[in-house]
Structure 1
Amino acid sequence: MPLVDLSHPMTPGMPVYPGDPTVAFAPAATLADDGANVSALRFGSHTGTHLDAPSHMIAGGRTVDQLNLAALQGTAYVLHTRSNETAALRDQPLGLSDLAPIPAQLPNIVCIATGWDRYFHEPVYEHHPYLELELVEALWDKGARVLGVDMFSPDPTHSTLSAPVHEFWLGQDGIIVENLTGLQQLPERVEMTILPLPLAGLDGSPVRAIASYP
């Protein structure tokens, strides 16, 4: 089965969540001067396509290196929005009625495909849709433990409120994956692998997320 890369490339100057460290690459050694090329990398733990470990917002929550990799590999269910007008989703809440019907039982990984990733390099990307808590609670009750979205966050980026989706999902020891891309092109059921860096004691990590299907 062909592999579909669901990760945004990491590049200097790429979009980051407001207030997060910017991305920079610089040569630390060169082939001409040192006999080998080595690069110095600067970026935050929640850069690009990445996962949030529970410790991101939950005191005492698991860190990236404590996550069970088996939970990040296997069958994934992709929920698509009913509307084909992606631009109309700007700053809009998404509830149960805004998505295709949800099966009674979900696999461990569930992703919400809004198509908002098409705006990743545009200022409007910060004005993504967000998930209603009722929807998220239903996904959890149906068996999902890894929640993936194709936007900055399942919560509003521009909000003075708390982050109820993060607080609920991470508070239940779940995992959130943000800034996925290409979800809208996937069928409902795929095989997915989401691999973080083994960053000891940290709250998040960039990931390489891939999907495959017949």
Structure 2
Amino acid sequence: MIVELSHPIVDGMITYPGIPGPKLGVHLSREDSRKIYAPGTEFHIATITLAANTGTYLDTPYHRYPDGPDLSQVPVSKLADLPGLVVRAGAGREVVIDEDLDVRGRAVLIHTGWDRHFGTDAYLHGHPYLAPGSAQWLAEQGAALVGIDSLNIDDTPPRGERPAHTILLKAGIPLVEHLTGLAALPQPSEGQGFRFHAAPPMVAGMGTFPVRAYAVVP
């Protein structure tokens, strides 16, 4: 079974406050293509202008650190076919990871349920986030990737501190934010695992980009 974990990208959508929504356009319409190709043959070529932090997207170390690997430098082995572990968040905004979990080499996906607000004003305020101490523990334990179905893996107060980004990206651990659908993923206690995939294009000089994140559940 394949479980979709990404939000669709649509014209004008707001992913994060202050970041402009994408603009979709047309480079070649079907009508105009009929003037170029043989009778009965037509194509549509679209354009899109978007900020890299749009929809469900991946952060590489370059997003936080100028000397960190960018989208073209992070090996695909760190982004695809990873053994996955879903963590169900409890009550409260700050998510603390159970330190009894085996996270080494795994994509750790934090399920808060905040994705239910995606596309509304409620999504942009008061969101759940990863406790800095848990970010440090995940880095020390060698998690392969960390994701969350919330606005940001960090709290987003005006002071702009980002401890989870700082800790995890410094450790070379990619992040995926704005996930969805994590409720469908099994926990180890249910006797079933899954493989996680979230590989972006190899764009040199960029630290973030949208991904088609999904899980394969045997």
User: Please, what TM-score do these two structures have when normalized by structure 1?
Assistant: 0.88
CA gap 1:202/1:105 in 2 versus in 1, 3 angstroms:
closer
Instruction: Considering fraction of residues, name the structure with more helix.
Output: 1
Shift of 1:71: 1.2
Shift of 1:142: 2.2
Shift of 1:141: 2.1
Alignment of 1:70-89 (within 5 A): 70-73=77-80, 74-83=82-91, 89=92
Deviations 1:36-83 (A, max 9, x none): 311110111111011011111112111001011111122111111234
CA distance in 2, matches of 1:52, 1:59: 13
CA distance in 1, matches of 2:158, 2:186: 32
Q: Counterpart of 2:163?
A: 164
Is the CA contact (8 Å cut-off) linking 1:71 and 1:108 kept in structure 2?
Answer: no
Alignment of 1:97-112 (within 5 A): 102-112=100-110
Deviations 1:115-142 (A, max 9, x none): 1011001111112111111111112222
Q: Counterpart of 1:86?
A: none
Alignment of 1:20-169 (within 5 A): 20-35=19-34, 36-73=43-80, 74-83=82-91, 89=92, 92-96=93-97, 102-127=100-125, 128-169=127-168
Instruction: Please state whether the residue corresponding to 2:115 is helix, strand or coil.
Output: helix
**Aligned residues: CA RMSD:** 1.6
User: Please, what TM-score do these two structures have when normalized by structure 2?
Assistant: 0.87
Is the CA contact (8 Å cut-off) linking 1:93 and 1:130 kept in structure 2?
Answer: yes
Deviations 1:10-32 (A, max 9, x none): 10121221222311101121111
Larger radius of gyration, structure 1 or 2? 2
Q: Report sequence identity in percent.
A: 32
CA gap 1:113/1:62 in 2 versus in 1, 3 angstroms:
same
**Structure 2 gap ranges (5+):** 35-42, 188-192
Q: Counterpart of 2:38?
A: none
Q: Counterpart of 2:190?
A: none
CA gap 1:75/1:156 in 2 versus in 1, 3 angstroms:
same
Shift of 1:205: 1.0
Shift of 1:102: 4.0
CA distance in 1, matches of 2:102, 2:199: 27
**Structure 1 gap ranges (5+):** 84-88
Is the CA contact (8 Å cut-off) linking 2:14 and 2:20 kept in structure 1?
Answer: no
